[in-house]
Amino acid sequence: MNGSAWGTGGGLSRRLLFTGTFAVATGALTGAATADRRRPVRGTVLRARPATVSLGGRKVATWTYGGTVPGPIIRATAGGMVRARLVNDLPAETTVHWHGIRIEPRMDGAPGYTQAPTKPGRTFDYVFRVPDPGTYFYHSHVGMQNDRGLYGPLVVADPREPLGYDEEFVVLLDDWLDGIDGTPDDALRRLNASTEHDDTLRSDLLGGVTGEVRHPYHLVNGRMAEAPEVFTSRPGRTVRFRVINAAADTAYRVALGGHRMTITHTDGFPCAPATVDTFLIGMGERYDFVTRLGAGAFPLVALAEGKQARAFAIVRTTPGARRPPRDVKVPELERRLLAYADLRPRRADALPRPGRTVTVTLGMRPSGNEWTLNDRLAADPLRVRVEKGETIRIVMDNQSPMWHPMHLHGHTFQLRVGERRGVRKDTVNIKPRERLSVDVECDNPGEWMFHCHNLYHQEQGMMGVLGYGQAPPRHRHMSH
C-alpha cells in the first residue's frame, strides 16, 4: 500500500475513481441477501481471509479483506449505491458493518440484531444506498475481529462538493497486536482473567485511564512508524485529510508538523471551519481537515493518548527533503486542541426538538471487566424503545472510571453543546463523571446497536439497543 493508492489527484482522476468501482443508481435491492459465489459481482469483493501481511518492518499472520491491511478503499457518491460482496474464507462467522452510514437494517452487519453472521464458505451481498457524503469505514462486527485486519475506508463523495481543495488523502489509524503477542481474543481472555488493570495508561485529556491493552504497534494505513506511509504532494497545494480511527482501544491526538489544520467535518458531517493545531479522535470517530502544504517533508503524527507511543506518517512535498525521524518533536501536539464546542453545525443539519429525554448511565461492575448501560450487560441488553417519527434526547451519564466512545447504528445524532445544537455525529467520547446529551431523530425503524466502540468494553458487555416499537422476539428480524 503506498501513498498514491490512497490519495486522489485533482478532478479527472477523482471522477474516474468514483465511477470505476461502483455502479451508481437505481438498482432494486431484491435478492441481495442470497448471494452465491457464481453470481457475477458488481462492485467490490471483500474476501475475508487469513493472510500474512507486512506492516512495514514486520510480517504478521492476521485476518484481512483480500490479503491487505487495511482492506480496499471503497468509494461511492452520496445518493448512490454501494455494492460489496463479502466472501467468507475465514474459519469463523463474520459480517461487515458500515460504520456511520444511515443504512437499512438488514445491511448493517450487526450479528444477532439485523442479520445472521455469514458462515465460513458462504457469501453475502451488501447493497445499499448512501444518503450522506463524508468519511466512513467498514469493519467486521463479530467478536474481536475488528482488532485484526478486518477494516477499510469508505469515502462517499459529495456530488456538489462545496469544499475547495486540490487533492485528498485517507489516514486510517489503528492499534495493532494481532500476530505479535497472540490474537485479540487472547488479549481479551487475559484481560478477563485479571483483576489488575494497567493504570499506567493515563491521560488528563481523557480523564484518567485511557485504555485496556498496550498494543505494540500503531499504524497509519497499515504501516508502522519504522516504515511509514508517505503522502506525496506539492508545496502550496490545499489538501483534504480524511482521518479515521479504526483502533480497538486507542484514542489518538493528531497533528501535522509545521501546519495548522482547519477542521471541516466530523463523522461525515460538515461543520463551520475551525482552525486548530491538533485534535483528539476516539475509536470510531472521523475528522476531515484541510491545510495548505508548505515545502519539505513533514511528520503526520497520531499520539496514542496515554500510551507513550504513536503512529507516524510523512507528508512530503519536496522530492529531496530529508525525512523527519519518527521520534521528532511535534510542538503542534501541545498547542490549540479542538473541542466539541468548536464544532458548529450547518443549519441544514439541525434535527427537530426532542419530545422527551432518556438517561443512559454508563457503568462498571466491581470486577473491572464488565461495562454496563443502565446496569445491564449485552447478554440482556438495555433497550431504549422509540416510536417512528419522534425525536428523543439521550443523556449519557458516565459513572464509570473510564472514557467511552459511544456509537449508535443506523442514525446520526446531534450533539448538544450547552443550550445550543452541536454537530451531527455517530460516535462521541464521554469522559468519566461527564454527562453528555445527543438528540436522535427516530426515522429509521429497526433494532439498532448502541455501544461503546472500545472493542474490549463492547465485548465486556457495553452494548444496548435503540429499538422501534414492541421488542421483537430475539432473532425474528434477522435476514436469514
Residue numbers at the binding site for Cu ion (CB under 5 A): 404, 452, 454, 457
The answer for residues whose C-beta is within 8 angstroms of residue 321's C-beta and 6 or more apart is: 295, 296, 297
Answer whether the bond into residue 70 is a cis peptide, omega within 30°. yes
Nearer to Cu ion, 213 or 330 (CB): 213
Name the minimum Å distance from CB 371 to Cu ion: 6
Name the minimum Å distance from CB 26 to Cu ion: 41
Name the minimum Å distance from CB 445 to Cu ion: 27
Name the minimum Å distance from CB 404 to Cu ion: 3
Nearer to Cu ion, 294 or 432 (CB): 432
Name the minimum Å distance from CB 457 to Cu ion: 3
Name the minimum Å distance from CB 379 to Cu ion: 17
Round to whole Å and give the CA distance between 221 and 242. 12
Nearer to Cu ion, 118 or 400 (CB): 400
Nearer to Cu ion, 97 or 457 (CB): 457
- Displacement of CA 399 from its chain's centroid (Å): 24
- Residue whose grid cell is 450522506: 132
CA 16-18-23 angle, to 5 degrees, is 110
Name the minimum Å distance from CB 451 to Cu ion: 8
Nearer to Cu ion, 52 or 194 (CB): 194
Name the minimum Å distance from CB 212 to Cu ion: 9
Round to whole Å and give the CA distance between 97 and 106. 10
Nearer to Cu ion, 212 or 288 (CB): 212
Name the minimum Å distance from CB 458 to Cu ion: 7
